[in-house]
Amino acid sequence: MDTGYTAFQPVSKEMCPSLSSISLFKEHTRMTSNTIDIPGYKAGTWVLDPSHSEVTFSVRHMMISKVRGAFGVKSATLVAPENPLEVTIEASVDATSLDTKDEGRDTHLRSADFFDVENHPTLDFVSTGVRIEGGDFLVDGDLTIRGITKPVTFDLDFNGFGVDPWGNYKAGASAKTVINREEFGLTWNTALEAGGVLVGKDVTITLDLQGALQQG
C-alpha cells in the first residue's frame, strides 16, 4: 500500500555511490578546492535525535581486554550552509549518564578520579573546521572533558538521507576518534603485579548519529 511517504533507509551504492565507501566517495563525489557535492545533502539547521543516537567508548583493561561504555547525548546542532565544508557543529553529552554495565565501575568513573561529574556534568564539542583528506571526511574541533579543552579530529561517514513516516527529512552518520585520556585530566591508574597498568591511555570514541532537518 502506498502511504505517501518515503521510508528512511541507508544509502546504497545504487542510490548514492559516493557515500558507500572511501574509494567510491573519491570516484563519484564532486570536489573542488573549497567545496564538495554530497547527494542528498540539504542546507539548513539539523538537530540530533537523541533516541536514535549513541556515543560509545572503549579502553584497554588490564592490558588484555577492552571495557566498553556509553553516554547519553544531551544535545547536538549542525548548521549546514550550501557548502558542506562550511558546516558548524555543537554537541553536548551527559557525563552523568555513563554506563559500562557495572554499577561499581560506573560510580568510580563518575567520581573525581575520572570524569568528576559533580563539577563537570557534560562533555562538549565545538567544531572548528571540516575538510576532505585522502577521501576521508574529517571534522576538526575542540573537545572539552573535565573542564580541559583539546583539539580532536573525527573521521565521519555518511550513512544516508531519507524521509521518515512523519515527513521529517533525516540524515544518518557515524564518526570515530581516539584520544589520550590523560590529556583531559583522567589520569587515575594502578599498576598490575604482572606489569603494566589497569587502564589504558587511549580511548576510542564512536558516534552513531541521526538528525532531522528543521522545518521553516
Between 94 and 189, name the one with better pLDDT.
94
> What's the pLDDT band for 24 if we cut at 50, 70, 90?
very low
Per-domain residue ranges for the chain? Answer: 45-213
Average pLDDT over residues 161-170: 93
Nearest-angstrom CA–CA distance, 99 and 171: 26
The letter for the amino acid at 203 is V
How do residues 107-140 score in pLDDT, each as one tens digit?
A: 988 999 889 999 999 999 999 999 999 889 999 9
Which alpha helices (DSSP H) does the chain contain, by range? 22-28, 103-110
Per CATH, domain 45-213 is 2.40.128.110: yes
Give the model's pLDDT for residue 31.
Answer: 52
Lowest average pLDDT, out of 13-17, 92-96, 125-129, 177-181, goes to 13-17
Confirm whether pTM is higher than 0.85.
no
Q: Does the pLDDT value for residue 190 go beyond 80? A: no
Pick the closest to residue 143 from 212, 63, 203 (CA basis).
Answer: 203
**Which of 4-8, 164-168, 172-176 has the lowest average pLDDT?**
4-8
